[in-house]
Chains A and B, each alone.
Chain A
Amino acid sequence: MSLLREKILTTATDLFQTQGINSTGVDTIVAVAGTTKMTLYKYFHSKEALILEVLNKSQSDFQGWLDSKLNLSSKKPSDKIQQLFDFIEEWVTSPNFIGMGFIKASAEFPNEENPIHQLSSKQSHEFRQFIAKLAAEASIKDADGLALQLSLLFEGAVQAEQMKRGSGAIKYAKKAAKILIDGASKN
């Protein structure tokens, strides 16, 4: 991947999260990235294409990081699901946390016909499925139900954290997650 393309992507990711997606113009992105509109449009056909690419990259980065953390941590499936929120807490409370792409995007693009809304909704479902898979591997009967509960907790806490940095919301979400996982494990 071209360095310049990379630079535009990371700049856009930062600006979308900190300034908002709708309120960040292409002009601002090229100014901050130190390039031109022409270059930006060479790599991304439209602002929409850029947003979609930002979402895809953010999500695959996050998922990749989470996967490697989980793989390194423990072989036991029942430990993995418990540790999920430890890692999420680590990520959310780290100083360079700027937010979760799909959560921000679905709030800014509520129209269901919009491709950006559709992608963020797809990513949210994929993340839910990822949790359901962890739950199923830990032999939890109602894996889908638990995944839904945990992802609601997770998204609520991340959103709260996006609105108010350092809120500590994730700490309580983690405690609640433990209660739910323990409850579901015994059924």
Chain B
Amino acid sequence: MDILHSDWLIHMLQKAGKTPQARMLSLFVILNDWTEAPGINAQITLNSNHNGLQNYLSLEATKAGAAHPEMLAMQLYLMAVSACKSKLEADVEGNIHAGAGDALKHAKNAAQALIFAQTKQEFRIAKSSAYAVASFVAATVIVTGLYFTHQQKTNTSPLALSAPLIQPVVKTDLIANAEDTAALIAQINQMRKGSCQLLEAIQLPDSYKRVYFENIVLGQISTNPNDQKLVRELLQKVRCNYTPMLMANSTG
């Protein structure tokens, strides 16, 4: 059965998640389940001429606001093919190559990072030292921020097109105050010095993932107070050990 080009797969994807991101990622979960199901003679073929799956992914990528939906769809498709092959080889030959049995799970992680790389908004403040600049350009950020959010809305679904136009109103409460931002930056910098057990992003609700990746993983602190509130909550769940390496080793 040529699963990658079946209507069954598209049907499964459609009901697999509430957000376009979740539906794209579920490709890897569904394929993993499928390769592990009993009595299935799993075979994978790459077929660029039959691209129902790629079209579907491309549509979802557009809804997710990807910078290049078709390209993202193609990459996800190719990664799925390749991971399926690794997984099936591992199942046949015994696990000869490290991690190959988990190929689809790893592919899902990689896909998640790739989706994030294509969908994140790029007007965020890059590094802690840029804080001075941050307050300087704050006003610009609000305006572009609203512009981007609005742009994204129009991208999100065809329905949004018929929605009344949202007037961009500059709201000062969209920018966190300086102390809060500085405190968060300090906390993130402190974290870099210890050995920290970060959260499994997979377990977070989708709406949290972007904030989590950008702020905590990449250390790009947002100036949006709502985001910051979420970051503080998430940071409380991060366990850190600040014992210097040498001391930790000598006690053990």
Residues B99 and A160 in contact, CB atoms below 8 Å apart: no
A34: Cβ under 8 A from any B Cβ: no
B83: Cβ under 8 A from any A Cβ: yes
Residues A169 and B71 in contact, CB atoms below 8 Å apart: yes
Instruction: Give Cα distance in the complex from A28 to B186, angstroms.
Output: 64
Instruction: Give the chain A neighbours of B170 by CB distance below 8 A.
Output: none
Among the listed stretches A15-23, A67-75, A89-97, A144-152, which one makes contact with chain B, having 4 or more residues with CB under 8 Å of it? A144-152
Residues B83 and A152 in contact, CB atoms below 8 Å apart: yes
Residues A152 and B110 in contact, CB atoms below 8 Å apart: yes
Residues A179 and B113 in contact, CB atoms below 8 Å apart: yes
The digit string for B200-234, where 1 denotes a CB below 8 A from any CB of A, is: 01000000000001000110000000000000000
Minimum distance in angstroms from B203 CB to a CB of chain A: 14
Minimum distance in angstroms from A128 CB to a CB of chain B: 7
Chain B positions 170-202 with a Cβ under 8 Å from a chain A Cβ = 195-198, 201
* Chain A residue nearest in CB terms to B66: A172
Among the listed stretches B8-16, B17-25, B101-109, B154-162, which one makes contact with chain A, having 4 or more residues with CB under 8 Å of it? B101-109
| Residues A172 and B109 in contact in the complex (CB < 8 Å), given A157-B75, A179-B117 | no
10 closest cross-chain pairs (CB), A and B: A175-B117, A176-B113, A144-B98, A176-B114, A149-B110, A179-B113, A156-B78, A156-B79, A144-B99, A148-B106
Binding site for B on A (CB under 8 A): 107, 110, 112, 121, 125, 128, 132, 144-145, 147-150, 152-153, 155-157, 159-160, 163-164, 167-169, 172-173, 175-180, 182-183, 186-187
Instruction: Give the chain B neighbours of A182 by CB distance below 8 A.
Output: 217-218
Minimum distance in angstroms from A165 CB to a CB of chain B: 12
* Chain A residue nearest in CB terms to B191: A186
Minimum distance in angstroms from B84 CB to a CB of chain A: 11
Binding site for A on B (CB under 8 A): 45-46, 48, 67-68, 71-72, 74-76, 78-79, 82-83, 86, 89, 97-100, 102-103, 106-107, 109-110, 113-114, 116-118, 195-198, 201, 213, 217-218
- Assuming A157-B75, A186-B196, what are 15 further A-B pairs, CB within 8 angstroms? A110-B46, A145-B102, A148-B103, A149-B106, A156-B75, A159-B78, A160-B71, A160-B78, A172-B114, A172-B118, A176-B110, A180-B109, A180-B110, A183-B217, A187-B197
Residues A145 and B218 in contact, CB atoms below 8 Å apart: no
Instruction: Give Cα distance in the complex from A176 to B198, angstroms.
Output: 18
Residues A173 and B75 in contact, CB atoms below 8 Å apart: yes
State which of A149, A168, A186 has its C-beta within 8 Å of the C-beta of B71.
A168
Residues B114 and A128 in contact, CB atoms below 8 Å apart: no
Instruction: Give the chain B neighbours of A112 by CB distance below 8 A.
Output: 89
Residues A149 and B72 in contact, CB atoms below 8 Å apart: no
Instruction: Give the chain A neighbours of B218 by CB distance below 8 A.
Output: 178-179, 182
Instruction: Give Cα distance in the complex from A33 to B139, angstroms.
Output: 63
Minimum distance in angstroms from A145 CB to a CB of chain B: 5
Instruction: Give Cα distance in the complex from A121 to B82, angstroms.
Output: 11
Residues B67 and A149 in contact, CB atoms below 8 Å apart: no
Instruction: Give the chain B neighbours of A178 by CB distance below 8 A.
Output: 218
Q: Considering residues A132, A144, A152, which has the most beta carbons from chain B within 10 angstroms of its beta carbon?
A: A152
Instruction: Give Cα distance in the complex from A110 to B118, angstroms.
Output: 31
A-B contact list, 5 entries, CB within 8 Å: A148-B98, A157-B75, A159-B78, A176-B114, A179-B113
Residues B98 and A172 in contact, CB atoms below 8 Å apart: no
Minimum distance in angstroms from B57 CB to a CB of chain A: 12
